[in-house]
Chain A
Amino acid sequence: MDPSEVEFIAEKEVVQIIPNFSLDKIYLIGGDLGPFNPGLPVSVPVWLALNLKQRQKCSIVPPEWMDIDKLEEMRELERKEDAFTPVPSPYYMELTKLLLNHSSDNIPKADEIRTLVKDIWDTRIAKLRLSADSFINQQEAHAKLDNLTLMEINTIRAFLLDSLNCMYKLRSNLQPGSTKGQFSDY
């Protein structure tokens, strides 16, 4: 899957905005939004929040977890624990990138947040590689992957699945040249 598709899915997450315009309730196919009143916070999907922000029609309220103290705590925990710790949002990486790139003026200490989230990401990816290696080493048939996010899975997906398929071929000694089982997503 292309990372931009993962981002596309993340854009369905809901954030709060403070609009500077008024508009009645909108009945979208995916659900109702609004009404919008100047200065009154309202929940909208990220794709709409970013669009309104780009047109200077709102400010975006950063999610609660996008806060230096909370993220520092999370980073320490992530470094201390061997297992993957629960993340504040299944799209923490995508939301950080989207909101910091398009709405950094609404987010206090944006640069520090970016670094903290990247640190958390790096720690988790290192763990992911460690677990992938042990999964391959032990020749496991099943792994529990709680707390892993789609973006994290996605960075290792093709490599890990192709490796597992290679092992399957080596083990079952399939005819060489067969492309059976090569990973591709559609």
Chain B
Amino acid sequence: MESQSYLPVPPGVGMEENFLSLDDILLSHERLPTRTECTFPRLGFLEKSTDSPDILETFIGRFRRTMDSSQNAYNEDTSALVEKLDSLEKALFKSGQSGLNGFQSWEKGQASQLTASSLVLNYRKRKINDVQP
């Protein structure tokens, strides 16, 4: 898990909605363009002419390793691999893994099953709790 720079905002109590809570936003009946972000390296302060080419070179130099580690890890515990990556590379590691896992589960004939997310299941519980005194 990557360290979170912000504490997640908990959902509102009972029928209340907390508009800064991801759970509440997702459960809202209106469709909204919400997006969740992971931290992108804060490069805003870097002068384009001086430092950023180095970062690009570093990225390129590490690319093969990022790719190989993400595409070779067959359902293993990947925490040790991810540890050494920066947050941008972690995001890439994730997309590499999703490509690999998608292919592998297809290959094994595990048909993709649609299941209700834990959010929806919890929502049902919350609804029941709301009704109870």
B42 & A2 in contact (Cβ 8 Å cutoff): no
A108-138 contacts to B (CB < 8 Å): 129, 132-133, 136-137
Chain A residues with CB under 8 Å of B88's CB are 166
Nearest neighbor of A158 in chain B, beta-carbon distance: B95
B106 & A162 in contact (Cβ 8 Å cutoff): no
Complex formed: what's the CA distance from A170 to B61 in Å? 14
B43 & A154 in contact (Cβ 8 Å cutoff): no
Chain A residues with CB under 8 Å of B95's CB are 158-159, 162, 183
Q: Is the interface of A mostly helix, strand, loop or mixed?
A: helix
User: How big is the B interface, by class?
Assistant: 35 or more
The listed residue (B52, B59, B64, B103) touching A155 by CB distance below 8 A is: B103
Complex formed: what's the CA distance from A7 to B111 in Å? 11
Chain B residues with CB under 8 Å of A167's CB are 56, 59-60
B60 & A157 in contact (Cβ 8 Å cutoff): no
B96 & A159 in contact (Cβ 8 Å cutoff): yes
In the complex, given contacts A159-B95, A176-B41, what are 14 additional A-B residue pairs having Cβ atoms less than 8 angstroms apart?
Answer: A3-B102, A3-B103, A4-B111, A4-B112, A129-B67, A137-B63, A162-B92, A162-B95, A166-B59, A166-B88, A167-B60, A170-B43, A173-B43, A179-B37
